[in-house]
Structure 1
Amino acid sequence: MVRWYSLILMIAMATGVWLTAREAERKGFKKEQIYDIAIWIILAGLLGARLFHVLDHWSDEFAANPIRALYIWEGGLAIWGGVAGGLFAAFILAWKNGWKLPKLLDAGAPGLVLAQAIGRIACVITGDAMGKPTTGPFGFAYTSSNALVPKLGVYYTPMPVYEIIVNLGIFALLWQLRKRNLSDGLLFLVYLTLYSFERFFLAFTSSYQILAFGLTQSQIVALVSLVIALVLIARMTVQARPKTSAA
C-alpha cells in the first residue's frame, strides 16, 4: 500500500510539473525555470498538506503518538494545505525572480488539477480519505490490513472517486480556456472557484471532524477560498470593462 501511495504521488507530481513547464513556455517562461523551482513548490506543498492533515486529525490520530506526524508515507495529506503551501512558495519564488505571479499561476492551474486527480488514485487504492460508511449501491470496502480505512470490511462512500471525476472535468474546462485572451490570473481563479465548490459539497460525504458551524476544516477553507476567488474575479471584470468618457 505504501509503495503504491508513493508511486502514484510521484507520477501525479511529475505530470503536474511537466504540464506546467509546457504551459509556462507558451506564456514566455523557460522550461528550465519551472523545473528549477518545481522542487521547492512541491516540498512546500507536501509540508502544507501534511501540516493541515495533522492539525485536523490531531486528537484522533496523533495526540497519543506525535512522532507519527512525520510518517508521511502512511498517507494523510490535506489538499488545501498543499495548495496553500504551494501558493506560498510560488509567491516567494515569483518575487525573487521578478516574475508575474498571476501568469505563473495560470500556467500551473491545469497541471495542478490534473495532478490532484491522479493523486486521488492513490487514495482509492489505499483507502485514504474515504467518505462516510454507506449502505448505498456504490461503496468501497477494504480487507487488507494495510488499508487506511477506519474499519475493514465496511463499505465507504468513495469520495476520492468523485473527486477524480470532478477534477478531470475542471481540467478539461481549463484546457479549453487556456488559449483564450484572459486577464493574467483569471484562469487560476476559475480553477480556485470550481475547486472550492467541489471541496465544499463533496465534504458532506466525508467523515472529517466538524470544526465549526457544522462544517469541516476543508469546507471552511473552501468557503474562504471561494469568496476570495469571486471577489478577485469581480474586480478583474470591472477593471477589464472599457471606460466610457463622460458626455
Structure 2
Amino acid sequence: MNGIEIGVNPMIGHFGPFMPTWYGLLVALAVAAGWWLGVREARRRGLDTEKMRSMILWGLLGGVIGARLFHVVDRWDLYAGEPARALYVWEGGLAVYGGLIGGVLAGLVYARLAGLPFWKTADAAAPGLILGQGLGRLACIPNGDATGAPADVPWAFVYTNPASMVPPELLGEPLHPYPVYELLFDLALLGLLWSLRGVYKTDGLLFVTYAGVYAAGRFLLTFFRTEQVWFFGLQEAQAVSLAVLVILVPLLAWRLRARGTAASGRGGGRDLKNAAPKGGSAG
C-alpha cells in the first residue's frame, strides 16, 4: 500500500447511551486550547476577562451554527436523502470558514452589547483562533471529513474504514493528508501572529493580518482537497477566501489610516509642546 493507512473507527466506543467520537474529543481539546490562549491575551491587553469568556461562548455558539451550515451546503449530497442528519453535529462535519464567519458575527454582537472594544478584542482572540483551528484539524484525521485530493506521495493517507466521511469511491485510494497540511500552516501563522502581537500598535491590524494570511493560505491549500466545485473551478473554501480578501482590503486601509491619524496626532502634540518658550507663555 502506497501511503499511511487510516483504518480507525471514528467512534471511540459505546458507553451506555453515550457514543463519543474521536472528532468530538479532539475538537473539544482544540476549543479548550484556543479559549485558554484567548483569555490569556485578553488579560495581557487589559480587557475584562469575564466578558472575554462570555464573548467566546457566544462565538462558539455562532461558530458551530455557521460551521455546520457551510458544511451541509457544501456536502448536500450526503444530506439530501436524510435532511435531519444535518443536525447531527456529533457525527462530525464542521466547515472552518462557516465557523469563523458565524463566530465573528456572534462575537461582534456580544462585544457591542457588552461594551468591549471590538478591534482590541479581535486582536486578543486572533492567536487563540488560529491555535484552535490548527489543533481542530487533528479531529479531521480519524473522521475523514477534510478529504484530500488523490495523491501519489509516500505520506498519503489511505482510508479503509467505511464509517469515515471519505466518499466511498475514495476509500482505499492514496489521498493528500490535507488536515496535516493545514495544521502545519496554522501553526506557522500562529508563530507569525505571536511575533507581531507586540509590534502592531493599532487595534485591528493583528486580526486583519490573521484573516488575510489565512485566506490566502487556505485558497492555495484547497487545491489539495476534494470538495464540491462552486463556480469557475473554485471550491467553496476558495470562493470564500477570495470574498474575505476583497473585504479585508478596505478594512486594512481603514486600520492603517487610523494608525496614521493617531501618529500624526501624537507628533502634532509634541511639536506644539516643543514650540512653547521655556521661560513662560508665548503670549
TM category (shorter chain) comes to over 0.9
CA-CA distance at 1:206 after TM superposition: 1.2
Instruction: Give the TM-score normalised by structure 1.
Output: 0.93
Whose radius of gyration is greater, 1 or 2? 2
Structure 2: gaps of 5 or more residues: 1-9, 12-20, 269-283
Q: By how many angstroms is 1:125 displaced?
A: 2.2
Among candidates 107, 122, 127, match of residue 139 of structure 2: 122
In structure 2, the residue matched to 1:200 is 219
Q: How many residues align?
A: 244
1:141 is paired with a residue of what secondary structure?
Answer: strand
One-letter code of the match for 1:54?
A: V
Whole-Å separation in 1 of the counterparts to 2:235 and 2:210:
21
List per-residue Cα deviations over 1:90-124 (Å, max 9, x = no partner): 11101001111111110000000000000000111
SS at match of 1:86: helix
Structure-1 residue corresponding to 2:105: 88
Q: TM-score, normalised by structure 2?
A: 0.82
Match of 1:219 in 2: 238
SS in 1 for 2:61: helix
Residue identity (%): 43
| Partner of residue 108, structure 1 | 125
For residue 15 of structure 1, report the CA deviation from its aligned partner: 0.8
CA distance in 1, matches of 2:96, 2:177: 16
Distance 1:56 1:155 in 2: 23
Aligned partner (choices 171, 181, 191) of residue 190 of structure 2? 171
What amino acid is the match of 1:66? P
CA distance in 1 between counterparts of 2:177 and 2:200 reads 38
Unaligned runs of 5+ in 1: none
> Could you list the runs of 4 or more consecutive aligned residues of structure 1 that deviate by over 6 angstroms after TM superposition?
none
Match of 2:79 among 56, 62, 66: 62
Residue 77 (structure 1) shift: 0.8
Q: 1:94 to 1:129 in 2, by over 3 A?
A: same
Contact in 1 for aligned 2:108/2:118 (Cα 8 Å): yes
* Alignment partners' CA distance in 2, 1:126 and 1:89: 27
Q: CA deviation at 1:134?
A: 1.7
What CA deviation, in whole Å up to 9, does each residue of 1:209-245 have, x standing for no partner?
A: 1111221121111011112223322332234335599
The question of 1:44 aligning with 2:56 is answered: no
After superposition, the CA RMSD in angstroms is 1.6
- Name the aligned partner's letter for residue 116 of structure 2: W
Matched, 1:72 2:89: yes
1:149 aligns with: 166
Letter of the 2:198 partner, please give it.
Answer: K
Does the residue aligned with 1:138 lie in a helix, a strand or coil? coil
Choose the corresponding residue for 1:6, options 20, 24, 27: 24
Match of 1:20 in 2: 38
1:154 Cα deviation (Å)? 1.4
Counterpart AA for 1:32:
E
The range that moved more, 176-185 or 194-203, is: 176-185
Question: For residue 167 of structure 1, what is the amino acid of its counterpart?
Answer: D
